Structure 1
Amino acid sequence: MGMTNIGLSGALANRVALNTTAQNTANVNTPGYSRQIVTMEASLSGNAVNGINLGSGVEVSDILRIADQSSINRLREATESAQYSQSYFNGLSNLENLLGADGLSLTQGMNGFFAAIDEASVTPESVAFRQQVLTNADALAQQFNAVSAQLSQQEAAQSERYGALVTHVNSQLESIASLNQKLQEDALLGKSIGGLQDAMDKHLNELSKSLDVKVIYTNGGVELSTPNGQPLVIGGYAASLERDLSSGDPYSTDLNITFQSMTTPVDASLGGELGALEALKTNQYDPIQTLLADLAKGLADGVNSALSSGFDLNGVAGQNLFTYTPGSEALSLAIDPNLTAQDLAFSSSATFAGNGDVLKDLSMLSQTPLTNGSVVGETPYSAYSGLLGDIGIFTRQAQSEATAAQVSMEDAQVARDSVSAVNSDEEAANMLLYLNAYEANMKIISTANQMFQTLLRAF
């Protein structure tokens, strides 16, 4: 019976190996799957002949997941960097396209306004030329409104995406905490945890697209924290992220993190797509909106100040051309709806409507440095052209960084797959090897049976 048992142990062990090879082959195209191998060891006890221990066959000691932790970590970090870079570049591209779109160029609007002023200076008393100034002033105001509104719409879309990412992150953290528990339970029971470890790596990679996480591997699980050390997952407990809109900004990227009933603000960039959206708001959307507001205010105040020193066609002291709401100057900029062409105070004389001294002052505003906020020292043209130039430079730089990060991620994927991915040729060779071993062990069982039958026939 020893020979039969030895053959049976070999058949069973090689059947496990065949099943493992089949599992590998089935998942040859499964992203994130790590190939597995069977380790066997000889059973040395239980079959003694004439006092000599021949052993009792073979047994499967373990099913190993083939993975290199450094390659897995590198892929996760590269994934986070690539997602951050690509998201930041996409945001800058949208900004560049918006600010350069036909009909939204403030340069064109200012060109039309100052050209109308220069034409009116030839015959300041002409109602037609005055109406042209009003028309172009209204067009310029509407362009400020449109650019500001489009920026707000883009920011609203980014904010909506930000909120969706926060929800997604919370879901991933809960899944990772649940996996932690399952991994610990199966490890204690001696079960194979290769599949669960693959699932954990998949969740970590997915989480890394949204934020940068620091990972500490424990026995049968992981512990996660933010870049500045705030806990995200410990054992079976997961943190929860929540947006903090208490500042009054509906697009705020401020976050609070709650772990074990303790809530604290997130006080550092999270990286990943969340970090990119936060950086776009902080470094681009908010400063651009501020610049546009300061530019609209500076231009409107300059025009209104010049007109206040003049007189209209009826000899009445000048009125403001532009109006705006403090705090949202670009979005609210408009011309006074009660103002007519005759009311424009182009003359420095109350008795001579053909005097165009105020028009000269208005024309000089295009070359006069502004004195307020973020545009101090800039002319209206240089302030806006500087904004466009900066956006162009930032976008090209972000594009280069996104390309480099994508290459790095692809290299990391290749490095990971070179160790863990399934090789069809290798699995085919293993299949033949284990199949031959299985058939040989079945032949041993058959031979043992024949020997037994021969022994029975001897009586």
Structure 2
Amino acid sequence: MAGMLNIGVSGLNAAQAQLNTTSHNITNAGTVGYHRQTVGQAARPPLFTGAGFFGQGTDVTSVTRSYNQFLENQVLQADNRRAQYGAYSAQIGQINNLLADSTTGLSPALANFFAGVQEVASNPTSVAARQSLISNGQALASRFQSLNTRLEEVRQGVEGGIVQTVESINTYAKAIAEMNQRIVVAQAGGAGAPANDLLDQRDQLLAELNKLVQITVVDETDSGKANGAVSVFIGSGQPLVLRGTVSQFQVIPSAADPQRGAISLTAPGGNTIEIAESLLSGGELGGLLEFRLVSLDAAQNELGLIALGITETFNAQHKLGVDLEGVLGKDFFKPIAPTVVPAVAGVSTSITDVSEVRAKDYRVLVSGGSVRLFAGDEELASLALAPAPAWPATLTGGGIAVSLPGAASIPADGLLIQPTRNAARNIAVGISDPREIAAGGPVSVTSPLTNQGTGKVANIDIRDIAGMDGSGDGVPDFSAFALGFDGTGPALTVPAGFTIERLKMDAATGEWVTDGSYPSGGSSTTYTPSADSSGVQFRVTGPGGYTFDFRFSGTPESGDAFSFGPSVAGVADNRNAVALGALQTTKVLGADASGRPTATFQSLYAQTVTTVGNKTREVQVNEAAQESLLDQATSARDSVSGVNLDEEAANLVRYQLAYQASARVMTVAQRLFDELISIGR
């Protein structure tokens, strides 16, 4: 009877355990991160008799959770990528809406500014048109500044998001380390049995941490046997949690750019290292860092390049003209100097060719026995330190020149040079008097009535004004000179001290260059009326270096002359205004490998808008794809480890019946025992 009673008790205990576990599953069906638990049973060792082996009942051997490491990893990977694209998408959407907006974007301001230039070209003596141009220039500068301000606000938001994310990482790391300790203690006290609920809680902490940054989890062992603790690594193996020990992450000023936050790791021993952004991939932190590096920096630099390009090219052309007072033009926009970080005494920078400037941050480093200039990862120039160069020395490349007082002036982390980053913030109109707009050309030509032929000079294009202002008062006062035609050459001639050369169009660059088939560098060059009457381009260089091009056409007679001299102040001259207006459609930025500019202001802005738009769409598509993958992976995982309430309800009935049956076994055993007692009486 005792055996039967013991069997019934074992069944009762097993059913009770099953009922408790099933009830636990049902009540935690809505608990995030919970894994369905099941009770393991095994038959007790049988008792041998002469008739054979008789069973002794059952034992509860384990309570395990339904857990599949492969499926869990799929969920973590999909969720990590989803969080990364989600963070990226939320940020880049702001830039896309800002730049592409037909009202607040740059395109309308650009169009209005050059419309003002065209208005001055149409009516160069109108003070109202000139004032309108200044106002449009100020509106353009204001638009650049407002766009840059909004980008700076986005940047501040990203920097704040990085700080908050790092703080959350530290919080989760500490919680995981504490959970490690609880699990180790619990499993040690439970003869190594898994602490299922604690494991679920830790897995949920790991899942939340995984949303913030990509992690690698390693199970820890003692003497080759798992002890329940895990270690967590990020990046290329930097330890975040080692069992119960936690490393702290913090945001510090970057060594490369103190204006932006960098992630550093402080180990328990106190050592602090800066972690490269490329190593911190995945999760919200990876998305924020990638957005800042790939999209935000690029958008701000490209916007700044347009501002710098307009400033440099418009100023350069403006200074080739004369204003209503006959004075050579000054800078229309205030010049923009590249930003140097840190500021070092004796270091100066300048723009040498804006078409060569990259929309990137530059850096000067001392490396490998040389001082090197980089734009991003592209090396632009270098200066060997042995033998020692004559200081100060200048590095020139990528459209800028950097003057250095000595190698010792360059910090160990290098000099950061930002020619475009702050240009949109710093652009500003430099003149306020509408009479100072240099709409006219400084060189004019007249034809004496004594000329017998039909020769004509047109399209005077000023290339350089050096030497035009001999007295230093800003007024071009160079001496008038005559261009003559010698019919015996036949040739066009200029006085001694001047040079003239015949030009041809370079099909590759679209620029006028010296035609080597004709004499050049002297005071005369070939012009054959019978062959050239439709027009030929020439270039004259005068004393002091001033240079201009012109087109000569028609059929001159020998002895005909054309007098070049300073323009008369106040005349209705729009030649430089026309040249200024032509900048709207002239390719002046983005030089290719051959040095030929490939982009106008508008096309570069359109390219920026397109790039941001395409990246926005790409990120949104990837986010949607990862959402779908996450749903699939979660569904596959839940099919194994999730709680099915219908199944648990059925189990509840089944285990209840098993409990009742075991109780019935005990009742039968009791009755049999009572019958034997009654027989003995």
In the other structure, the counterpart of 1:215 is: 217
1:56-97 C-alpha deviation (Å, 9 max, x unpaired): 432211101111110011111111111112222232222111
Residues 37-436 of structure 1: matches in 2 within 5 Å? 37-44=38-45, 54=54, 56-190=56-190, 191-218=193-220, 219=226, 220-247=228-255, 249=257, 252-261=260-269, 262-267=271-276, 268-323=279-334, 325-326=336-337, 327=339, 328-336=422-430, 339-348=432-441, 349-370=567-588, 377-436=598-657
Q: Distance in 2 between matches of 1:319 and 1:332?
A: 18
Q: Distance in 1 between matches of 2:234 and 2:137?
A: 51
- Could you tell me how far 1:266 is from its partner in structure 2? 1.5
Deviates more, 1:85-94 or 1:374-383: 374-383
> Which deviates more, 24-33 or 201-210?
24-33
The alignment yields a C-alpha RMSD, in angstroms, of 2.4
CA distance in structure 2 between the aligned counterparts of 1:376 and 1:172, rounded to whole angstroms: 52
1:35 partnered with 2:36: yes
Structure showing greater radius of gyration is 2
From the two aligned structures, give the one with the greater helix fraction: 1
Q: Which amino acid in structure 1 is aligned with residue 13 of structure 2? A: L
Q: In structure 1, how many angstroms separate the alpha carbons of the residues matched to 2:259 and 2:664?
A: 73
Structure having the larger proportion of residues in strand: 2
Structure 2 counterpart of 1:222, which letter?
Answer: V
**C-alpha separation in 2, matches of 1:251 and 1:65:** 49
- Residue 51 of structure 1 and its aligned partner are, at CA, apart by 10
Note if 1:19 corresponds to 2:240. Answer: no
Do the aligned partners of 2:325 and 2:570 also contact (CA within 8 Å) in 1? no
Preserved contact between residue 177 and residue 236 of structure 1 (Cα < 8 Å): yes
Letter in 2 for 1:334: A
Could you give the per-residue CA deviations for residues 206-238 of structure 1, whole angstroms, max 9, x where no partner exists?
111111111222321222212411222221112
Q: Kindly provide the CA deviation profile for residues 417-448 of structure 1, in whole angstroms up to 9, marking residues without a partner as x.
A: 11001112221221111111111121222233
Task: Give the counterpart letter for 2:111 in structure 1.
Answer: N
Any gaps of 5 or more consecutive residues in structure 1?
none
Q: Distance in 2 between matches of 1:434 and 1:271?
A: 45
User: Match for 1:71: what amino acid?
Assistant: L
The alpha-carbon deviation at position 248 of structure 1 amounts to 7.7
Structure 1 runs (4+) deviating above 6 angstroms are 47-53, 372-375
SS at match of 1:233: strand
CA contact (8 A) 1:311 1:350 kept: no
Asked if structure 1 preserves the Cα contact closer than 8 Å seen for 2:88 and 2:291, the reply is yes
| Distance change (3 Å), C-alpha of 1:147 and 1:350 | farther
Q: State the Cα distance separating 1:49 from its structure 2 match.
A: 8.0
Separation of aligned partners in 2, 1:20 and 1:96: 53
| Structure 2: distance between partners of 1:350 and 1:233 | 80
Residues 294 and 372 in structure 1, CA contact (< 8 A), matched pair in contact too: no
Offset at residue 351 of structure 1 (A)? 1.6
SS at match of 2:253: coil
Name the structure, 1 or 2, with higher relative contact order (CA <8 Å, separation 6+).
1
Q: In structure 2, the residue corresponding to 1:215 is in which secondary structure?
A: strand
CA–CA separation in structure 2 for the residues paired with 1:122 and 1:426: 85
**Residue 331 of structure 1, CA deviation:** 0.7
- How far residue 249 of structure 1 moved from its aligned partner, in angstroms, is 4.7
The separation in 2 between residues aligned to 1:444 and 1:265, in whole angstroms, is 70
Q: Is the 8 A contact 1:103 1:143 kept in 2?
A: no
For 1:434 and 1:372, the matched residues in 2 are separated by 77
- For each residue in 1:281-338, what CA deviation from the matched residue of structure 2 results, as whole angstroms up to 9, or x when unmatched? 11111122122222111201222222223332233332322125533221121213x6
**Given the superposition, is the C-alpha separation of residues 244 and 40 from structure 1 closer, same or farther in structure 2, using an over 3 Å criterion?**
same
Query: Matches of 2:136 and 2:85 in 1, distance apart?
Result: 41
Does the residue aligned with 1:323 lie in a helix, a strand or coil?
coil
Q: CA deviation at 1:50?
A: 8.8
Percent identical pairs in the alignment equals: 29
> How far apart are 1:389 and its partner, in Å?
1.4
Q: Measure the CA separation in 2 of the matches of 1:373 and 1:88.
A: 31
Shift of 1:362: 0.7
Aligned counterparts of 2:591 and 2:14: Cα–Cα separation in 1: 78
Q: Is the 8 A contact 1:294 1:373 kept in 2?
A: no
Contact 1:159 1:251 in 2 (8 A): no
TM-aligned CA distance change 1:209 to 1:130, over 3 Å: same
CA contact (8 A) 1:35 1:421 kept: yes
AA aligned opposite 1:407: S
User: How many pairs align?
Assistant: 457
**1:340-359: per-residue Cα shift (whole Å, max 9, x none)?**
22222222235234111110
Relative to structure 2, which stretch is displaced further, 151-160 or 309-318? 309-318
Tell me, in whole angstroms, the C-alpha distance in 2 between the residues paired with 1:175 and 1:154: 31
User: What CA distance in whole angstroms lies between the structure 2 residues aligned with 1:110 and 1:305?
Assistant: 18
Are the equivalent residues in 2 in contact too, given 1:298–1:372 (CA < 8 A)? no
Aligned counterpart for 1:439 among listed residues 660, 671, 681: 660
DSSP-derived class of the 2:587 partner: coil
C-alpha deviation, 1:201, in angstroms = 1.8
Q: What displacement does 1:48 show?
A: 8.4
TM-score normalised by length of structure 1: 0.93
- Cα deviation for residue 246 of structure 1 reads 4.1
What amino acid is aligned across from residue 217 of structure 2 in structure 1? V
Mapped partners of 1:280, 1:330: distance in 2: 20
Contact 2:312 2:335 in 1 (8 A): no
Question: How far apart are the structure 2 equivalents of 1:376 and 1:54?
Answer: 95
Q: What code does the residue aligned with 2:647 have? A: E
- Which amino acid letter does the alignment assign opposite residue 343 of structure 1? E
Partners of 2:30 and 2:237 in 1: CA distance: 36
The separation in 1 between residues aligned to 2:267 and 2:617, in whole angstroms, is 40
Q: Structure 2, unaligned stretches of length 5 or more?
A: 221-225, 340-421, 442-566
Shift of 1:265: 2.3
